[in-house]
Structure 1
Amino acid sequence: MKTKLVLGSWLAIVICLSAHSQTLDQKYAKDVTSITAIVDAYYDVISGASTDHWQFEKDRYLHSATALITRLDDNGKADVHTLEAEYVPLLLLPKEDFYETELKRKVSQYGNMAQVWSAYEVRTNPEIASNSRGLNSIQLHFENGRWFIDSWTTQMETKSNTIVADFLKTE
């Protein structure tokens, strides 16, 4: 009898928690309804104060299961890895204030595919200007009523490689 009561209590707790917990689709659906929404969410998940929690769950939701990240160095050498590998170094160090702010966006969409060029700047204090800027190339696809990030490539601007300044001059 006691065992049935304990099992019944556990079952009731599980059912209540399941009924009250949100699915990922419920929590993040608004972030993937449009290209604008998903790119805004893309910047939102990485930005925040050192006291903010990492948004791994939301970031995973934005990306397709096979998404790849490519970082290009000053010489164009590519470091390609998965979203999970992107977070490994972040977890090994104390979290710091980090704000990635979009400066300009250009979108090309054909059918269920989209390419987004997005210039950004990096700040450690949202109130202080930054001279650290980069350019993202973000590839997306639309499936099952929502957008997914399939890959992104990024390169930082340098004195010899003025990609952001050049991009900001374009229409």
Structure 2
Amino acid sequence: MKTQISKSDPIYRRAAFLLGEALQEAKRDQAITYVMRVLSNYAAIGKDAGSGQIKNENLRVSQGALELLGTVESVRAWQRGTINEHPLPLKASWAFILAEAERLTVNDVWEHFAQNPMTTITVEEDSRLNRMKLQSATGVDRYKLADIRVSHLGESPIERLKSRGVK
């Protein structure tokens, strides 16, 4: 189900920026990349935030990250042992928006990010993606090839850590 976003919503303004740049056939630069990252943050946790906060709040984690949650002895170890990873690389997201800009709406741009939310994975899983040359691969199920399974938590990682007494 598609969500209609208000023109006053920051998500709308950022998605409108991306669509406007795509309609001008802009080359992906730092501004475009940063806006895509911000939209990814909203898709993952409902707001823009830094990497550590996303790791602490993201309900979408790999099985490896879920196992790490049960063993780490500090929040710092959790954050050092994980990466926020885009299941659909930003390179592919920009290529899609560029290719489809003429038919997309601002809401469609947002839905693209909402349907591809970030996943918190372990550093080892990220290394596996890199070793297998899948870090920016498109057109393949990168996670399946790298044996990364995704779990959806009922409570945030930080809540899980706190319930174990981890600080």
Shared fold (TM-score greater than 0.5)?
no
Instruction: Identify, as 1 or 2, the structure richer in helix.
Output: 2
Length-normalised TM-score, structure 1:
0.27
Instruction: Identify, as 1 or 2, the structure richer in strand.
Output: 1
Relative contact order, higher structure (CA 8 A, sep 6+): 2
Q: Which has the larger radius of gyration?
A: 1
